[in-house]
Amino acid sequence: MTRSTRLTALAAVSAFALLGACATAPTAAAPAPSTATPATAPAAVMAHDIHSFARPDEARVTHVGLDLTTDFAAKRLSGTATLDVDAKPDARMIVLDTKDLEIQSVTDASGKPLQWRLGTAPQGTPEVMGVPLEVTLPAGTKRIVVRYATSPNAAALQWLTPAQTAGKKYPYLFSQGEAILTRTWIPTQDSPGIRQTYDARIVVPSELKAVMSAEMLTPDGEPAEGGHAFRFHMDKPIAPYLIAIAVGDIAFKPLGARTGVYTEPSMLDKSAWELADVEKMVEAAESLYGPYRWGRYDLLVLPPSFPFGGMENPRLTFATPTILAGDRSLVSLVAHELAHSWSGNLVTNATWADFWLNEGFTTYFENRIMEKLYGPERAAMLANLGWQDLQNAVAEAGGPNAPDTRLHLDLTGRDPDEGMTDIAYEKGATFLRTIEEAVGRERFDAWLRSYFDRHAFQPMTAEVFLADLRANLIKGDAALEQKLQLDRWVYEPGIPENAVVRQSDAFARVDAQVQAFAAGGPASKVNTAGWTTQEWQHFLGSLPAKMTPAQLADLDKTFNLSNQGNSEILFAWLKIVVNNRYQPGVPALEKFLTSQGRRKFVLPLFTALMKQGDWGQNLARKIYAEARPGYHPVTSQSVDAVVK
């Protein structure tokens, strides 16, 4: 664990306070004082993560050792999880998080059986939390071994048939643990504030390869009963949602000295070409906010059912194939996942109420990487699109006074996925951009780099973040404190009026083309020469909400939009198709929704369809019946709530 030599009293106390439990922040009704504070700050408040049954102040998991065998026929992982335990001398029990796990036995390190039971969740607990596994700890117990098997319906795991892969020859397995799905395949304390190291031995069929979010110790595997085994080791404490696995027909190609890409063999060359700048991205990120601390940075391009654009699993970002546009125009997603190696993986939200501390920081950092590599105009376009997404997110949340437009959320009784909206990403990034504008980039960068140093490999809360900001950046400057409105940004709804919005000259030129087309001009007169993906997104997103069939046909024919290979541009066009009930675009809509499962694309399109009366609802039900079996549970559970 790297520590800055410039630790303040705040950081030293915070590190101690956060070691065994999560910290909480004031509620929106009682924000922290809006006055400047001196260069010392109070200790963080100890509290449990409301989305975990664990009691880490009594006994906490510090290391997970997995020995699991994959069974593609049964769609199960089975074996053992050996947990290292740090318990208080008087602790008599450790409580783990589980959901739909078949617990077969629990022993100590010597094999002696321990008493255990699956408890019941309190009334009002979200179903996604599962139930606690309560294990009695005899005095001096430092390690327990849980023998178990996963359910075929484990929400973190997706088992793909050969037909659902690019190669069509072998099955595939991958996991997705965020936010609290790790408990469906590993019995551990599934809270982002309870960081754990891990190692693993994974047995797979002989024709397949396993990869994980850890150092690979056996690149070619080793003989094992039923196939061959791969071993992994993660020596840095990470949040449990970052423990990740994939198994399939997977090949590798290096991109640089410490970077490379894994994917199915038929996709390898295409993926490597698209991701050629990854090594440069790592270097750009390091030049901004300090050394990359995880060793290698590789990517795994998954089959199309992966529910997210990317997942920042340490050492091995999981990525959707929808980023493979053929022109490297969507690599900002890689910059985002790479940035998580600092904001999210290195310094992690202690609870899901402060998800913005992961995603707001990362969205800001992503934009800085893109600016450094591709110039200020590209970064300005991306930031402006983010601002537009923020406006839409505020509207979808219920307007500027809606509670869910706060950064620090109240998720009591709710699935933490409900807080994973563009508010966390874009309001958080705008907040940091506003601070940068107020203090100057050089001063802000120095603070942010030192923030990552001070809190490396630690959980973080809004309260501790604000205390650090006041202690190490504002430093008692009352005028600056008043100008920034820090507590209003974090604890109150809406977007404060001091928000800094990046403007794009390129978008201003696109707006002129939008106006000409909307006024009746033909699509052939729209000057799209040299447009980037971002300009196309802005153009399509700025067109009138309702257009005539003739206008839609003109756009589609002129720009071949229904056959667009760039997923972001196609998505923007398909939203127009749905909102205008443009029947000639429906085949492209059906193909898009049945050929990939990225929730960012899938959920808004089904939501839009369900708002289009009988036309849209009948179409949504028809398409979803075909598409749902190929979606990861993260996506299908969201769409299930919409398509009824």
Catalytic, 631? Answer no
Judge if pTM exceeds 0.75.
yes
Nearest CA-CA partner of 259 in 334, 370, 161, 359: 334
- Indicate if the pLDDT at residue 134 is higher than 60: yes
334, 317 contact by CB (below 8 A)? yes
Confidence of residue 48 (pLDDT cuts 50, 70, 90): confident
- Indicate if the pLDDT at residue 163 is higher than 50: yes
- Indicate if the pLDDT at residue 13 is higher than 70: no
Q: Measured on CA atoms in the order 200, 96, 195, 279, is the torsion positive or negative?
A: positive
- Indicate if the pLDDT at residue 10 is higher than 60: no
Q: List C-alpha distances in Å: 395 to 49, 404, 429, 614, 642.
A: 29, 11, 18, 25, 18
pLDDT 10s digits, 64-101: 999 999 999 999 999 999 999 999 999 999 999 999 99
Q: List C-alpha distances in Å: 593 to 9, 222, 533, 546, 619.
A: 53, 40, 21, 23, 12
pLDDT 10s digits, 515-553: 999 999 999 999 999 999 999 999 999 999 999 999 999
Nearest CA-CA partner of 366 in 288, 291, 424: 288
Single-letter residue type at 614: D
Confidence of residue 20 (pLDDT cuts 50, 70, 90): very low
CATH of domain 534-640: 1.25.40.320
Domains of the chain, residue spans: 9-49+350-491, 64-338, 534-640
- The set of residues, in sequence order, having a beta carbon less than 8 Å from that of 619 and lying 6+ positions away, is 586, 589, 609, 612
Token digits for 485? Answer: 């409105």
| Longest Cα–Cα distance in the chain | 80
Confidence of residue 343 (pLDDT cuts 50, 70, 90): very high
Q: In the chain, what percentage of residues exceed pLDDT 70?
A: 93
C-alpha distance across the termini of the chain, in Å: 49
Task: Please name the helix (run of DSSP H) or strand (run of DSSP E) that holds residue 435, with its range, or none.
Answer: helix 428-439
- Indicate if the pLDDT at residue 170 is higher than 60: yes
Q: List C-alpha distances in Å: 339 to 28, 286, 291.
A: 29, 10, 12
Alpha carbons 198 and 235: distance in angstroms, whole number: 7
- Which architecture, in CATH terms, is 9-49+350-491? Orthogonal Bundle (1.10)
Confidence of residue 235 (pLDDT cuts 50, 70, 90): very high
- Indicate if the pLDDT at residue 46 is higher than 70: no
Alpha carbons 416 and 412: distance in angstroms, whole number: 9
pLDDT 10s digits, 489-510: 999 999 999 999 999 999 999 9
The predicted pLDDT at position 518 comes to 95
The predicted pLDDT at position 147 comes to 98
Q: Measured on CA atoms in the order 369, 372, 375, 379, is the torsion positive or negative?
A: positive
635, 596 contact by CB (below 8 A)? no
- Phi then psi dihedrals of residue 386, to 5 deg: -65, -40
304, 631 contact by CB (below 8 A)? no
Nearest CA-CA partner of 544 in 524, 564, 514: 514
> For the residues 367-390, what does the mean pLDDT come to?
96
Vertex 504 angle, CA 498 and 509, to 5°? 135
337, 447 contact by CB (below 8 A)? no
- In which order are the strands placed within the sheet that holds 297-301? 251-254, 259-263, 297-301, 316-319, 310-311
> For the residues 122-128, what does the mean pLDDT come to?
94
- Phi then psi dihedrals of residue 149, to 5 deg: -140, 150
327, 333 contact by CB (below 8 A)? no
Looking at the DSSP assignment, which residues form a beta bridge with residue 500? none
For residue 39, the Cα-to-chain-centroid distance in whole angstroms is 33
For residue 62, the Cα-to-chain-centroid distance in whole angstroms is 23
Kindly name the residue from 172, 297, 425, 451 that is annotated as catalytic.
425
For tokens 């993926």, the residue is 271
pLDDT 10s digits, 454-478: 999 999 999 999 999 999 999 999 9
Catalytic, 535? Answer no
Alpha carbons 238 and 234: distance in angstroms, whole number: 8
- The per-residue pLDDT of the chain, averaged, comes to 92
- The set of residues, in sequence order, having a beta carbon less than 8 Å from that of 417 and lying 6+ positions away, is 128, 179, 634, 638
Alpha carbons 76 and 148: distance in angstroms, whole number: 10
Q: List C-alpha distances in Å: 639 to 80, 153, 502, 558.
A: 34, 17, 33, 33
- Indicate if the pLDDT at residue 229 is higher than 60: yes
Q: In the chain, what percentage of residues exceed pLDDT 90?
A: 92
> For the residues 246-260, what does the mean pLDDT come to?
98
Kindly name the residue from 178, 264, 312, 337 that is annotated as catalytic.
337
- Phi then psi dihedrals of residue 12, to 5 deg: -65, -45
572-579, long-range: CB < 8 A, 24+ apart? 572/536, 572/537, 572/540, 572/541, 573/540, 574/605, 575/540, 575/604, 575/605, 575/608, 576/540, 576/543, 576/547, 576/552, 577/552, 578/605, 578/608, 578/609, 578/612, 578/616, 579/545, 579/546, 579/608, 579/612
The predicted pLDDT at position 2 comes to 28
Judged on CB neighbours under 10 Å (0-12, 13-18, 19+), 586 is: middle
- Which architecture, in CATH terms, is 64-338? Sandwich (2.60)
Judged on CB neighbours under 10 Å (0-12, 13-18, 19+), 375 is: exposed
More confident call, 29 vs 110: 110
